[in-house]
């Protein structure tokens, strides 16, 4: 099956492996440049990196606030209305189906170059991820407390506030931390289409073929991502 997908005669993807052999010198030269990061360029990266971190945090926090009611509307345990639940899930699936770079490209054209299109893109991306994963986690869990609340005469909003939400906070917290990790990676890419942050500087240095500066930026992104992952792992352990 894998071989069949590479056959152009049946509509497969054409893989020209000979290009690797012909252009290996060009690739080797680029790798050599990337292996020599320009540390003198580091001060110029600080402000764009802080901008990227700010975008990631603002996007994650805003999405966290908005995801709470949307998740309750999307979960079967917290929304007994099948029609309303399916409508919310349909909208969330549509939001998730659009790639983040497409959102960023459209928003940059609508709003202009800067951090705002990047933040809005991250919010949409995070809401799609958090709502889907947390609502499915709520649906797959046992909910005897919900039946008890209904038997006691509680309304659905009271049951959600006093039983569903307290039981679901660990699910929310895990996904919020995960979305923050993703935001740092994604925001670095969004800058390439003009959505601000370190990605914008990365695209600028790549356009000038200064791969030594590109190497430093990639290394800096790697360090920041690893540090955030370590911090989020510690936070997850405390939530268990």
For residue 24, is it within any domain? no
Confidence at residue 144, expressed as pLDDT on a 0 to 100 scale = 67
Residue 114 is given by DSSP the state S
Q: Of 179, 59, 57, nearest to 118 (Cα)?
A: 59
Whether 158 is in a domain gets the answer yes
Q: Is residue 235 part of a domain?
A: yes
CB 94 within 8 A of CB 132: no
- Structural domain contains residue 17: no
- Tell me, what CATH number does 220's domain have? 1.10.3720.10
Domain residues for the domain of 174 are: 40-239
Read off the pLDDT of residues 133-192 as tens digits, 9 standing for 90 and up. 999 888 887 666 666 666 666 677 777 787 788 888 888 988 888 888 888 888 888 888
Task: Determine the Cα angle at 202 with ends 201 and 206, to 5°.
Answer: 115
The model's pLDDT over 43-78, given as tens digits with 9 standing for 90+, comes to 999 999 999 999 999 999 999 999 999 999 998 888
- Taking the complete model, does pTM exceed 0.85, yes or no? no
Determine, yes or no, domain membership for 164: yes
Q: Does the residue 25 lie in any domain?
A: no
Query: Looking at residues 26-34, what average pLDDT do you find?
Result: 79
Please tell me the total count of domains within the chain.
Answer: 1
């Amino acid at each position: 099956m894998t071989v069949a997908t590479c056959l152009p005669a049946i509509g497969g993807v054409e893989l020209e492996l000979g290009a690797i052999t012909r252009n290996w010198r060009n690739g080797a030269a680029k790798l050599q440049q990337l292996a020599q990061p320009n540390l003198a360029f580091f001060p110029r990266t600080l402000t764009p990196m802080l901008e990227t971190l700010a975008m990631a945090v603002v996007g994650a926090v805003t999405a966290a606030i908005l995801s709470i009611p949307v998740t309750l509307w999307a979960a079967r345990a917290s929304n007994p209305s099948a029609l309303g639940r399916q409508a919310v899930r349909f909208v969330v699936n549509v939001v998730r189906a659009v790639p983040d770079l497409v959102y960023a490209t459209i928003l940059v054209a609508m709003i202009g170059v800067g951090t705002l299109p990047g933040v809005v893109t991250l919010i949409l991306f995070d809401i799609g991820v958090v709502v889907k994963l947390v609502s499915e986690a709520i649906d797959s869990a046992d909910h005897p407390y919900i039946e008890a609340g209904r038997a006691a005469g509680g309304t659905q909003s009271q049951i959600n506030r006093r039983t569903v939400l307290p039981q679901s906070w660990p699910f929310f917290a895990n996904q919020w931390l995960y979305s923050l990790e993703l935001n740092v990676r994604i925001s670095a890419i969004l800058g390439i289409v003009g959505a601000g942050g370190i990605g914008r500087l990365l695209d600028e240095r790549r356009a000038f073929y200064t791969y030594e500066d590109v190497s430093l930026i990639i290394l800096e992104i790697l360090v920041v991502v690893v540090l955030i992952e370590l911090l989020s792992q510690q936070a997850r352990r405390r939530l268990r």
